[in-house]
Amino acid sequence: MYVVPRSWVNEDGTLGRDNDVITLGIEDKMGLHGSASGDTSVSWR
């Protein structure tokens, strides 16, 4: 598991632009449903 902040933080502490990490979908799975599995997309600038 990892946590991704929604926005970049500027040096002065204010919120900057979005971080360009997008959730593409949540996996449908059988068995344990306590942990979500999903696909993400990252746009490196």
Residue type, 2: Y
> Among candidates 37, 5, 34, which has minimal Cα distance to 21?
5
pTM across the whole model: 0.44
Residue type, 9: V
pLDDT tens for the 45 residues of the chain, in order = 677 888 889 999 999 988 888 777 877 777 776 777 777 777 766
Residue owning tokens 């993400």: 40
31: left (phi over 0), alpha (psi -120 to 50) or beta: left
